[in-house]
Amino acid sequence: MQVVNQYRCEYCGTLYKDKELCKQCENQHRTPAKIANVEHRPMGVCAEYPWSIQIEFDNGSVVSYERKGIVYRSKR
């Protein structure tokens, strides 16, 4: 029987044999700090949910995301 030691990145799940490489992977991932801006469309034109949002990350970068559709709608 062979024992295999691996390290898993807590953000993306990638497995590494080397602990330092796994740490490098974890350190390069950014985490959201806050919503910087939200853009809505007028009533009747995709108005319920934001069309785009800008997220500020832990390193100060701001990234824009645009909605492509609803993936899951709650049954409330």
> How many Cβ atoms from other residues are within 10 Å of residue 29's Cβ?
12
pTM for this entry: 0.71
- Beta carbons of 63 and 55 less than 8 angstroms apart: yes
Rounded-to-integer distance, Cα 76 and Cα 62, Å:
32
Rounded-to-integer distance, Cα 5 and Cα 33, Å:
33
pLDDT value of position 60: 96
Low-confidence ranges of the chain (pLDDT < 70): 76
Residue 15 forms beta bridges with which residues? 8
pLDDT value of position 59: 95
pLDDT value of position 75: 74
Q: Per-residue pLDDT tens for 37-47? A: 999 988 877 77
pLDDT value of position 76: 67
- Beta carbons of 60 and 50 less than 8 angstroms apart: no
